[in-house]
Structure 1
Amino acid sequence: MAQIYSSLHFTKIVFKPLHTNLFNIVLISIFLSLGCSALYSQDIKKKQPTVTPNTQDVKKGAEKPLDTNPVAETPADTVKLDTIKVKKAFLNGQVKYKAETYAKIQQKKKLITLYDKAELYYQDVELKSGIIVMDYEKNEVYAGRIKDSLGNYTQFPNFKQGSNVIEPDSIRFNFKTKKALIWNSRTNQGEFNVKAAITKKENDSVYFLKGARFTTAKDVDNPEYYFQTNKIKFIPGKKIVTGSTYMVIAGVPTPIYLPFAYFPLSKETSVSGIILPSYNDSNTKGFSLQNGGYYFALSDHYNLTVVGDYYTNGSYALGMQSSYAKRYNFQGNVNIRFENNIISERGYPDYSKTRIYNIQWSHSQDSKANPNSTFSASVNLGSSEYFKQTINQVNVGSSLNNTLSSSISYSTVFHSVPESRLSLTATHSQNTNTKVINMTLPTLQFSVDRIYPFAINDGAKKGFFKNINLQYNLNGKNSFITTDSLFFKPEMFQDADIGFQHSIPLSTNFKVFKHFSVSTSLNYDEVWYFKTIEKHYDDQLATVVTNDVKGFDAFRTYSSSTSIGTTIYGTFNFGADKKIQSIRHVMRPAVSHSYTPSFEKYYDTYAIDGSGNMQTDKYYTRFEGGMYGVPGQNRSNSIGFNLSNTFEAKVTDKDTTKTEAKKIMLLNNLNFSTSYNADAKTLAWAPVRISGGTQFFDNKLSANFGTTLDPYAIDNSGTRINTFNIDNGGSLFRMTSANLTMNYSLSSKGSEKKDKPDSQAARNGGREDDLFGSDIDTGSYRKNSQFTDDDEEKEDAVAEFFKSKLPWDMTFAYSLTYGNNNREKKITGNSIMISANTDLTPKWKAGVSTGYDFVQKGVTFTQLRFERDLMSWRMDFNWTPFGPNATWNFYIGIKSGILSDIKWEKRNQNF
Structure 2
Amino acid sequence: MYARPAGGTPGHIFTKIGFKALQAKITYILLMLILLFCHPFLFAQETPVKQPLNIEARKDSSQVSIKEALPELKINDSIIANDILLDTTQISTVQDSIKKDSVPPKKQFIDDQIKYKAKDYQKTVRSENKIYLYNEAEVYYQDTELKSGVIVIDYEKKEVYAGRIKDSTGTLTQAPYFKQGNNIVEPDSIRYNFDTQRALIWNSRSEQTVGGEMNVFAEVTKKENDSVYFLHEGKLTTSKNLDDPEYYIRVRKAKFVPKKKVIAGFSNMYIADVPTPIAVPFAYFPMSEKSSESGLIFPSFGEVNDRGYFLQNGGYYFAVNDHLDLAVLGDYYTNGSYGFRTETNYAVRYKFRGNFNFRFENLVNSQKGFPDYSRQTQYNIQWSHNQDAKANPNSRFSASLNLGSSRYYKDSYNQVNTGNHMQNTLTSSISYSKSFPGYPAVNLSLTATHSQNTNTEVINMTLPTLQASMERIYPFAPKSGIKKGFFQNINFQYNLRAENRFQTTDSLFFKKEMFEDAKTGFRHSIPLSTNFKIFKYLSTSVSVNYDDVWQLKTIRRHDYDPELEEAPIDTINGFDRFGQYNFSASLGTTLYGMFTFKEGKKIQAIRHTMRPSISYGYTPGFDQYYDEYIANEEGETREYTRFEGGIYGTPSRGNSNNIGISISNTLEAKVTDKDTTATEPKKITLLNNLNFSTSYNIAADSLPWSPLRVTGGVPLFDNKMTINFGATLDPYAIDNSGRRIEKFNIDNGGSLFRLTNANLTTSYTISSKTFKDSSIDRKNDNTRSGGRDDDLFGVQQDFSDGRMFPDDEDEDEEEEDTKFYGATLPWDLRLAYSMTYSNSNRQNEISNNSLMFSGNVELSPKWRMGISSGYDFKNRGFTYTQLRFERDLESWRMNFSWTPFGNRTSWYFFIGIKSSMLSDIKWEKRRNPDRQL
Superposition TM-score, scaled by structure 1 size: 0.90
CA contact (8 A) 2:238 2:915 kept: yes
Q: Per the alignment, do residues 135 and 741 of structure 1 end up closer, same or farther by CA in structure 2, a change over 3 Å counting?
A: same
TM-superposed CA distance for 1:819, in Å, is: 2.2
TM-superposed CA distance for 1:50, in Å, is: 5.2
Counterpart of 1:264?
286
CA contact (8 A) 2:776 2:856 kept: no
2:148 equivalent to 1:125: no
**Helix, strand or coil at the partner of 1:195:** strand
**What does residue range 594-673 of structure 1 map to in structure 2 within 5 Å?**
594-610=617-633, 613=635, 616-673=636-693
Counterpart of 1:96?
115
**1:306 aligns with one of 312, 317, 328:** 328
Instruction: Name the amino acid aligned to 1:672.
Output: F
**1:149 aligns with one of 161, 168, 172:** 168
Q: Per the alignment, do residues 480 and 830 of structure 1 end up closer, same or farther by CA in structure 2, a change over 3 Å counting?
A: closer
**2:309 aligns with one of 270, 275, 287:** 287
Counterpart of 2:470?
448
Which whole-Å CA distance do the structure 2 matches of 1:321 and 1:127 have between them?
A: 46
Instruction: Name the amino acid aligned to 1:684.
Output: P
Counterpart of 1:587?
610
**2:504 aligns with one of 472, 482, 485:** 482
Specify every segment of 5 or more residues in structure 2 that has no aligned partner in the other structure, as ranges.
1-28, 41-49, 66-74, 96-104
CA contact (8 A) 2:214 2:236 kept: yes
Question: Could you list the per-position Cα deviations for residues 550-608 of structure 1 after superposition, in whole angstroms to 9, with x for gaps in the alignment?
Answer: 01000101011111100000000112221211110000000011111101211111111
CA contact (8 A) 1:130 1:144 kept: yes
TM-superposed CA distance for 1:87, in Å, is: 9.3
CA contact (8 A) 1:447 1:471 kept: yes
TM-superposed CA distance for 1:350, in Å, is: 4.3
Counterpart of 1:564?
587
Which whole-Å CA distance do the structure 1 matches of 2:761 and 2:741 have between them?
A: 32
- Select between 150-159 and 514-523 the one with higher mean Cα deviation: 150-159
CA contact (8 A) 1:229 1:244 kept: yes
2:827 equivalent to 1:827: no
Which whole-Å CA distance do the structure 2 matches of 1:610 and 1:697 have between them?
A: 66
Q: Per the alignment, do residues 756 and 527 of structure 1 end up closer, same or farther by CA in structure 2, a change over 3 Å counting?
A: farther
TM-superposed CA distance for 1:54, in Å, is: 7.0
2:566 equivalent to 1:543: yes
**Helix, strand or coil at the partner of 1:387:** helix
Q: Per the alignment, do residues 225 and 895 of structure 1 end up closer, same or farther by CA in structure 2, a change over 3 Å counting?
A: same
Q: Per the alignment, do residues 82 and 390 of structure 1 end up closer, same or farther by CA in structure 2, a change over 3 Å counting?
A: closer
2:159 equivalent to 1:140: yes
Question: Could you list the per-position Cα deviations for residues 43-94 of structure 1 after superposition, in whole angstroms to 9, with x for gaps in the alignment?
Answer: 699997555447999xxxx98655799998999xxxxx98458996511111
Identity of aligned residues (%): 57
Question: Could you list the per-position Cα deviations for residues 214-256 of structure 1 after superposition, in whole angstroms to 9, with x for gaps in the alignment?
Answer: 0111224422221111111111111111112112222222222
**Helix, strand or coil at the partner of 1:369:** coil
CA contact (8 A) 1:156 1:169 kept: yes
Which whole-Å CA distance do the structure 2 matches of 1:659 and 1:272 have between them?
A: 62
2:827 equivalent to 1:808: yes
Q: Per the alignment, do residues 759 and 594 of structure 1 end up closer, same or farther by CA in structure 2, a change over 3 Å counting?
A: farther
Which whole-Å CA distance do the structure 1 matches of 2:875 and 2:740 have between them?
A: 30
**Helix, strand or coil at the partner of 1:898:** coil
2:888 equivalent to 1:869: yes
Instruction: Name the amino acid aligned to 2:183.
Output: N
2:746 equivalent to 1:726: yes
CA contact (8 A) 2:303 2:928 kept: no
**Helix, strand or coil at the partner of 1:749:** helix
RMSD: 2.8
2:574 equivalent to 1:555: no
Instruction: Name the amino acid aligned to 1:343.
Output: N
CA contact (8 A) 2:778 2:806 kept: no
Question: Could you list the per-position Cα deviations for residues 368-401 of structure 1 after superposition, in whole angstroms to 9, with x for gaps in the alignment?
Answer: 1111111111100010001101111364653323
Which whole-Å CA distance do the structure 1 matches of 2:299 and 2:677 have between them?
A: 64
TM-superposed CA distance for 1:797, in Å, is: 3.9
Which whole-Å CA distance do the structure 1 matches of 2:718 and 2:494 have between them?
A: 46
Instruction: Name the amino acid aligned to 1:854.
Output: F
Counterpart of 1:785?
806
- Select between 340-349 and 531-540 the one with higher mean Cα deviation: 340-349
**Helix, strand or coil at the partner of 1:297:** strand
Counterpart of 2:17?
none
2:265 equivalent to 1:230: no
**What does residue range 630-779 of structure 1 map to in structure 2 within 5 Å?**
630-750=650-770, 756-760=778-782, 764=786, 767-778=788-799
Counterpart of 1:461?
483
Counterpart of 1:418?
440
2:541 equivalent to 1:519: yes
**Helix, strand or coil at the partner of 1:727:** helix
Q: Per the alignment, do residues 639 and 282 of structure 1 end up closer, same or farther by CA in structure 2, a change over 3 Å counting?
A: same
Which whole-Å CA distance do the structure 2 matches of 1:784 and 1:595 have between them?
A: 61
CA contact (8 A) 1:359 1:379 kept: yes
Which whole-Å CA distance do the structure 1 matches of 2:457 and 2:738 have between them?
A: 32
Question: Could you list the per-position Cα deviations for residues 95-146 of structure 1 after superposition, in whole angstroms to 9, with x for gaps in the alignment?
Answer: 1112222221111111111122211111111111121111111111111122
CA contact (8 A) 2:776 2:826 kept: no
2:195 equivalent to 1:172: no
2:904 equivalent to 1:885: yes
TM-superposed CA distance for 1:345, in Å, is: 2.6
CA contact (8 A) 2:382 2:403 kept: yes
TM-superposed CA distance for 1:302, in Å, is: 0.3
**Helix, strand or coil at the partner of 1:601:** helix
Which whole-Å CA distance do the structure 2 matches of 1:756 and 1:671 have between them?
A: 37
**Helix, strand or coil at the partner of 1:308:** strand
CA contact (8 A) 1:538 1:544 kept: yes
Which whole-Å CA distance do the structure 1 matches of 2:800 and 2:58 have between them?
A: 75
Counterpart of 2:551?
529
- Select between 774-783 and 337-346 the one with higher mean Cα deviation: 774-783
- Select between 304-313 and 279-288 the one with higher mean Cα deviation: 279-288
Which whole-Å CA distance do the structure 2 matches of 1:207 and 1:66 have between them?
A: 34
Q: Per the alignment, do residues 250 and 347 of structure 1 end up closer, same or farther by CA in structure 2, a change over 3 Å counting?
A: farther
Q: Per the alignment, do residues 462 and 781 of structure 1 end up closer, same or farther by CA in structure 2, a change over 3 Å counting?
A: farther
Which whole-Å CA distance do the structure 2 matches of 1:861 and 1:64 have between them?
A: 77
Q: Per the alignment, do residues 909 and 542 of structure 1 end up closer, same or farther by CA in structure 2, a change over 3 Å counting?
A: same
Question: Could you list the per-position Cα deviations for residues 396-441 of structure 1 after superposition, in whole angstroms to 9, with x for gaps in the alignment?
Answer: 6533232111111111111232110111111111111111112222
CA contact (8 A) 1:762 1:768 kept: no
**What does residue range 42-61 of structure 1 map to in structure 2 within 5 Å?**
52-53=56-57
Instruction: Name the amino acid aligned to 1:861.
Output: Y
Which whole-Å CA distance do the structure 1 matches of 2:608 and 2:58 have between them?
A: 95
Superposition TM-score, scaled by structure 2 size: 0.88
Counterpart of 2:357?
335
Which whole-Å CA distance do the structure 1 matches of 2:80 and 2:262 have between them?
A: 41
Which whole-Å CA distance do the structure 2 matches of 1:780 and 1:511 have between them?
A: 65
Specify every segment of 5 or more residues in structure 1 that has no aligned partner in the other structure, as ranges.
1-35, 76-80
Q: Per the alignment, do residues 619 and 779 of structure 1 end up closer, same or farther by CA in structure 2, a change over 3 Å counting?
A: farther
**What does residue range 57-68 of structure 1 map to in structure 2 within 5 Å?**
none
- Select between 566-575 and 828-837 the one with higher mean Cα deviation: 828-837
CA contact (8 A) 1:66 1:95 kept: no
**1:248 aligns with one of 270, 292, 298:** 270
Which whole-Å CA distance do the structure 2 matches of 1:37 and 1:810 have between them?
A: 116
Question: Could you list the per-position Cα deviations for residues 455-484 of structure 1 after superposition, in whole angstroms to 9, with x for gaps in the alignment?
Answer: 111153111111111111111112222211
Instruction: Name the amino acid aligned to 1:438.
Output: N
CA contact (8 A) 1:66 1:94 kept: no
Instruction: Name the amino acid aligned to 1:791.
Output: D
Question: Could you list the per-position Cα deviations for residues 291-313 of structure 1 after superposition, in whole angstroms to 9, with x for gaps in the alignment?
Answer: 11111111111011101111111
**1:213 aligns with one of 235, 242, 248:** 235
**Helix, strand or coil at the partner of 1:830:** strand
Instruction: Name the amino acid aligned to 1:723.
Output: K
CA contact (8 A) 2:403 2:427 kept: yes
Which whole-Å CA distance do the structure 1 matches of 2:346 and 2:897 have between them?
A: 32
